[in-house]
Amino acid sequence: MDDQFDENLGNIWRFPYLAAKNGGGTFLIPYAISLFFIGIPLLMTEMAVGQRLRFGPIEAYKNFHPGFAGIGVAMAMISFVVGVYYTMISGWSLFYLFSSFQD
């Protein structure tokens, strides 16, 4: 039965069950620590730099040093890939939602 969950969206729905089975919300402790000490400061720094310079990621990092333009390109590429990924997940979710109403 576990084979069907290896490559499908079943992993998303199965995660809460596995987390509860293997210790509940213990994973929330390192997640919260990482969020408060790494995630939020990086997010605030990135937003402050973007607001101050009023450029996209490529030009903003290029203003610091021309060698940092690659960081901006990587950020733009990752944003594109994540956007495509979430659009596909949303599309499949809507497809299966509407398919479930048919005979």
Q: What pTM was estimated for this model as a whole?
A: 0.58
Tens of pLDDT, residue by residue over 55-91, are 888 898 898 899 988 998 999 999 999 999 999 999 9
Residues with Cβ within 8 Å of residue 11, at least 6 apart in sequence: 5
Q: Are residues 31 and 68 in the same domain?
A: no
Could you give the 3-state DSSP secondary structure of residue 87?
helix
Domain range for 26 is 1-54
Q: Are residues 49 and 74 in the same domain?
A: no
Residue 63 exposure: Cα atoms within 13 Å on the Cβ side: 11
Q: Are residues 1 and 22 in the same domain?
A: yes
Q: Are residues 5 and 44 in the same domain?
A: yes
Burial 11-30 (b: 16+ CB within 10 A, else e): eeeeeeeeeeeeeeeeeeee
Amino acid letter at 3? D
CA-based R_g, the chain, Å? 20
